Amino acid sequence: MILSELGKTIKQLRQQKGISQETLAQQCGISRATLSKLENGYIANISIVTINQILCFLGYEIDIKPTNPFRTN
């Protein structure tokens, strides 16, 4: 998933749960501005730990499936 798509999904989940940007940001230890940038696709670099904190607060978790693009069959 592209980071901008993830940001849109986070925004949608947050709004569905009736949580403000300020509340979510405070709970996750980031600024409201950072969360806004993430939700609107304007942030290029955010840690997986922060993404995980946001999703956990919203009741979701990250499912990472490792891939090897250099693997030959």
Write out the residue range of the structural domain in which residue 28 sits: 3-57
Report how many domains make up the chain: 1
Residue 70 inside a domain? The answer is no
Q: Over the stretch 20-71, which tens digit does the pLDDT of each residue have?
A: 999 999 999 999 999 999 999 888 788 888 999 999 999 998 877 777 767 6
HEC secondary structure over 46-68: CCHHHHHHHHHHCCCCCCCCCCC
31 within some domain: yes
pTM above 0.75, yes or no: yes
- End-to-end alpha-carbon separation of the chain, Å? 24
Do the domain assignments include residue 71?
A: no
Q: Residue 29: which CATH number?
A: 1.10.260.40
